[in-house]
Amino acid sequence: MDPKTYKFDTLSLHAGYQPDKNSGARQVPIYQTTSYLFDDVDHAAALFNLERGGHIYSRISNPTVSVLEERVAALEGGTAAIATSSGMAAIFLAIMTLCESGDHIVASSQVYGGTANLLRLTLPKFGIKTTFVKPRDTQGFKKAIQENTKCIFGELLGNPGNELMNMPEVADIAHDAGIPLIIDSTYQTPYLCKPFDFGADIVVHSLTKWMAGHGSSMAGIIVEGGKFNWMQNDKFPSLTKEYEGYHGLSFAEEFGPVAFTMKARAEGMRDFGPCLSPQNAWNVMQGIETLSVRMEKHCANAEKMVEFLLGNESVAWVSHPSAPDHPDYELAKKILPKGRGSMIAFGIKGGKEAGTTFINNVKLASHLANVGDTRTLVIHPASATHSQMDEETLKFAGLSQDMIRLSVGIEDIEDIKNDFEDGFRAAKKLKLVVNK
């Protein structure tokens, strides 16, 4: 006897929505509205008191956005989700739901440049400080935890260096300290890895990337795993104690496995307002419908590109967990059995100048500040996404001046290789000129 609950590919298409009873619309309708009629005064009061579910105002929730939220929660194996206007909004909302002034975060040093700036420069303005630890330094996470630490934050595969955090061990460290592990799983998507299966408690995504795939719409999401016991200690009073904003409600007592999401929505969306537009939610769902087939092609192309780069004389080094010499090769096989993702970091011989020449001479690959598009993308992180970092911080974050970040698309692999050959040829010519 086995459960007949729907599987991943089915949930990608159907979770969160049944055809609209009034119109029969098969596709999810775009509810382009700010607000929703109350039946009467009692109905309005019931919605505001959280006596019943429903929508009040689209800053807090929207029926189209809710379908996306349920869909991603279903795909991740989470209890609940809350969509945001971008991935950065998701990270900010997740942290502000947990932390108060005087609190502390332990974070992986290898994270997206925007995230690094938020943790390093912006959150201290709110009285929240961060200690950074290299992603492979598992015991370093333990040592960095302080009395006021409220979470460990990391990207499973660090951006851009592709260092893999040992998520199960770091989760144990977090749980021993009575704090949750937040994983930014943008690079993986739930198709490649469900972080809740490896001990994570909260997952954030930039849906703008692989989940949507088309590179047309900004969106983010927070997903709650539902296992973390907020009441095990007194570290999270805003979740466990009576909350003045809702008549003395205790989110943890009342909502248990969805307490975090309920607080993020009731307080965070209400007060900060980083809501996702229904149009963008709908656009993202168009991408999610084909997530598994796209991710298979992304990963297959990435592995072929790794092989190509490893054999190319212009390339100094390649970092991708599918390469047998990658330090995290074995761990990646365990955590990412379906594929190691489509982000590759590589160093070009000739350093920064060769790198910029390469980028200026590829034509198929797009030079832009995004990843996870269906199209192949390249960037030189030290001069773009991570340009606010000084040399020492760059080094600590695992970056080098010769590094090129490649997001492998789903074009024909031969076309991508040919394009790169052109780029390498141009970079090599530059080197010859310099040598003369």
| Residues found near another protein in the complex (CB under 8 A) | 1-6, 14-18, 45-46, 49-55, 60-63, 65-67, 69-71, 73-74, 77-83, 225-227, 229, 231, 246-249, 253-258, 261-262, 265
Please answer whether residues 12 and 71 qualify as being in contact, where contact means their C-beta atoms are separated by less than 8 angstroms: yes
Q: Which is closer to another protein, CB of 113 or CB of 268?
A: 268
**Phi and psi dihedrals of 206, rounded to 5?**
-90, 110
Q: Which is closer to another protein, CB of 139 or CB of 232?
A: 232
- Interatomic CA distance for residues 252 and 232, integer angstroms: 11
Taking the complex as a whole, how short is the minimal distance between the CB of residue 82 and another protein, in angstroms?
5
Radius of gyration over alpha carbons of the chain, in Å?
22
Please answer whether residues 131 and 143 qualify as being in contact, where contact means their C-beta atoms are separated by less than 8 angstroms: no
Please answer whether residues 202 and 173 qualify as being in contact, where contact means their C-beta atoms are separated by less than 8 angstroms: no
Q: Which is closer to another protein, CB of 140 or CB of 268?
A: 268
- Interatomic CA distance for residues 262 and 255, integer angstroms: 7
Taking the complex as a whole, how short is the minimal distance between the CB of residue 337 and another protein, in angstroms?
20
Taking the complex as a whole, how short is the minimal distance between the CB of residue 349 and another protein, in angstroms?
49
Taking the complex as a whole, how short is the minimal distance between the CB of residue 279 and another protein, in angstroms?
17
Taking the complex as a whole, how short is the minimal distance between the CB of residue 418 and another protein, in angstroms?
44
Q: DSSP 3-state helix, strand, coil percentages of the chain (rounded to 5)?
A: 45, 15, 40
Q: Which is closer to another protein, CB of 74 or CB of 377?
A: 74
Q: Which is closer to another protein, CB of 74 or CB of 96?
A: 74
Q: In what order do the strands lie in the sheet with 366-367?
A: 315-319, 343-348, 403-407, 377-379, 366-367
Q: What is the DSSP string of 229-250?
A: -GGGSSS-HHHHSPBGGGTTB-
Q: Which is closer to another protein, CB of 71 or CB of 405?
A: 71
Taking the complex as a whole, how short is the minimal distance between the CB of residue 86 and another protein, in angstroms?
17
Taking the complex as a whole, how short is the minimal distance between the CB of residue 370 and another protein, in angstroms?
26
Taking the complex as a whole, how short is the minimal distance between the CB of residue 78 and another protein, in angstroms?
6
Q: Which is closer to another protein, CB of 69 or CB of 419?
A: 69
Taking the complex as a whole, how short is the minimal distance between the CB of residue 180 and another protein, in angstroms?
14
Q: Which is closer to another protein, CB of 66 or CB of 319?
A: 66
Cα 148–Cα 154–Cα 155 angle in degrees, nearest 5: 170
Q: What is the DSSP string of 299-319?
A: HHHHHHHHHHHHT-TTEEEEE
Place of tokens 């790169």: 420
Taking the complex as a whole, how short is the minimal distance between the CB of residue 329 and another protein, in angstroms?
30
Q: Which is closer to another protein, CB of 56 or CB of 426?
A: 56
Please answer whether residues 376 and 385 qualify as being in contact, where contact means their C-beta atoms are separated by less than 8 angstroms: no
Is the bond into 19 cis (omega within 30 degrees of 0)? no
Please answer whether residues 62 and 31 qualify as being in contact, where contact means their C-beta atoms are separated by less than 8 angstroms: yes
Q: Which is closer to another protein, CB of 258 or CB of 416?
A: 258
**Phi and psi dihedrals of 182, rounded to 5?**
-105, 125
Taking the complex as a whole, how short is the minimal distance between the CB of residue 217 and another protein, in angstroms?
19
C-alpha dist (Å) from residue 2 to 5, 6, 12 = 9, 12, 21
Q: Which is closer to another protein, CB of 62 or CB of 283?
A: 62
Please answer whether residues 104 and 133 qualify as being in contact, where contact means their C-beta atoms are separated by less than 8 angstroms: no
C-alpha dist (Å) from residue 22 to 17, 29, 61, 70, 275 = 14, 11, 21, 21, 27
Q: Is 29 exposed, middle or buried (0-12, 13-18, 19+ CB in 10 A)?
A: middle
